Amino acid sequence: GVIGQGVSVDSLPLRENLRGKSAYGAPQLTVPVQLNTNENPHPPTQALVDDVAESVRHAATQLHRYPDRDAVELRTALAEYLTGQTGFDVDASNVWAANGSNEILQQLLQAFGGPGRSSLGFVPSYSMHPIIASGTQTEWIDAKRRADFSLDIDFAVSSIAERDPDVVFVTSPNNPTGHSIPTEDLRRILDAARGIVILDEAYAEFSAQPSAIGLIAEYPTKLVVSRTMSKAFAFAGGRLGYLVAAPAVVEAMLLVRLPYHLSVVTQAAALAALRHASETLGSVERLSAERDRVMARLTELGFDVIPSDANFVLFGRFTSAAATWKRYLEQGVLIRDVGIDGYLRTTIGLDSENDRFLEVSASLVQSEL
Ligand code: PMP
């Protein structure tokens, strides 16, 4: 038998706040149409693949040495990309990078949350926010969105005033509902918050809204914008997330990061991917147009479609979301049950994948709603 088999998690001396919790669990299944984790469906170009391979080959000659602990070259390239993409003058000292924006969020809670501190988020939202809170022993407070999943800003502001959290999470566009927060609403949250406001902009490149990066100069002790190369950048497998904030926030990250957290290979590959940013991001407009087509067709078929500013769409209302999710899977289409009663989320894929998804949707609309 397996060494140590038969011992349950419950019998381990686990920290109390982790007992009974479930792990993050998007199913990783290989099926013809995979529309479940909000990836960019377009594979990297040959030029990008070659540049990554050549860069990693070169980096491999230095594998006996630790990487640049502060990833200065990579942060400089990210700052240049951000300055071009957002129009705001971002410096390398405003940027911090880690292994995916999940690690960025964890480092932020290690520094600004933790035992005796609290974080508040507007649910339904990204499921990892409360999981990272429990991993860092930060109390988690749910504030609900409206029944149509839009953010009731008056309620949001009064929740912050009442609960006085150390960290507020705002996801814009929000996963899994697709809404973006208007700048004037974000200002009200920033004015109401005493602590850090993390604006999770994982899907920012898909949005028509301006980035919150423009507000950092006004709220330097509060606002942190978190971003990722996993979505629009088509670099989910490369694991590279980053934050934009005042340089002091980056200094705070140095207190909690593990030394050499970004490998030589990761830094080289991410730099190569950034050199090809414009060709990669060319897919964003196509995906946005496809999103609009999928939303229009689902509406026409009779589904309840939540308007999306990102590369995914939440739709329903199903009698049983769990049962319908299985029907899609039986037809070779993997979408996501995000745990919202009556709704499922589909990622926008290649045109042909969206066609197949819409075909299956048309066949299910009668029986599942
Ligand atoms: N934030 C949001 C809102 C997300 O949806 C995701 C990916 N599911 C992430 C952060 C984390 O992505 P990554 O760690 O790949 O950067």
Q: pLDDT tens digits, the chain, 369 residues: what are they? A: 899 999 999 999 999 999 998 888 778 889 999 999 999 999 999 999 999 999 999 999 999 999 999 999 999 999 999 999 999 999 999 999 999 999 999 999 999 999 999 999 999 999 999 999 999 999 999 999 999 999 999 999 999 999 999 999 999 999 999 999 999 999 999 999 999 999 999 999 999 899 999 999 999 999 999 999 999 999 999 999 999 999 999 999 999 999 999 999 999 999 999 999 999 999 999 999 999 999 999 999 999 999 999 999 999 999 999 999 999 999 999 999 999 999 999 999 999 999 999 999 999 999 989
Task: Identify the pLDDT of residue 25.
Answer: 77
Atom of ligand 1 nearest to the CA of 102: 14
Q: How far apart are CA 318 and CA 306, in angstroms?
A: 14
Residue whose CA lies nearest to ligand 1 atom number 2: 202
Predicted pLDDT at 57:
98
SS3 state of residue 314: strand
Compute the distance from residue 144 Cα to the ligand 1 centre, in Å: 20
Q: Between the CA atoms of 53, 81, 177 and 350, what dihedral angle is there, to the nearest 10 degrees?
A: -40
133 HSE (CA, 13 A, CB side): 22
**Ligand 1 atom with minimal separation from the 228 CA:** 16
Closest atom of ligand 1 to 239 CA is: 15
pLDDT confidence of residue 227:
98
**Phi then psi for 102, rounded to 5 degrees?**
-60, -40
Q: What distance in angstroms lies between residue 307's CA and the mean position of ligand 1's atoms? A: 20
* Distance from the alpha carbon of residue 46 to the mean position of ligand 1, in angstroms: 26
How many Å from the N-terminal Cα to the C-terminal Cα in the chain? Answer: 47
Give the atom of ligand 1 at the shortest distance from the alpha carbon of 38: 8
Nearest CA to ligand 1 atom 6: 202
In degrees and rounded to multiples of 5, residue 88 shows phi and psi of -100, 145
List ligand 1's pocket residues with C-beta within 6 A: 38, 100-102, 126, 171, 175, 200, 202, 228, 230, 236, 241
Tell me whether the omega of the peptide bond preceding residue 317 falls within 30 degrees of 0, making it cis: yes
Mutate to test the pocket of ligand 1, among 228, 235, 338 (most ligand atoms within 8 A of CB): 228
Can you give the pTM of this predicted structure?
Answer: 0.96
Under a CB-based contact definition with an 8 Å cutoff, are residues 223 and 190 in contact?
yes
Q: How far is the CA of 99 from the centre of ligand 1 (A)?
A: 11
Which pLDDT value is given to residue 24?
87
Give Cα separations from 28 to 31, 35, 36, 268, 334 (angstroms).
Answer: 9, 11, 9, 27, 9
pLDDT, tens digit, 9 for 90 and up, residues 232-289: 999 999 999 999 999 999 999 999 999 999 999 999 999 999 999 999 999 999 999 9
Helices (H), 233-276: 247-256, 264-275
Name, in order, each residue with C-beta under 8 angstroms of 123's C-beta and a sequence gap of 6 or more: 142, 143, 144, 145
Q: Which residues contact 193 (CB under 8 A, 6 or more apart)?
A: 160, 165, 168, 222
Residue 220: the pLDDT is: 98
Decide the pairing of beta strands 344-347 and 312-316: antiparallel
In DSSP terms, 120 is beta-bridged to 141, 168
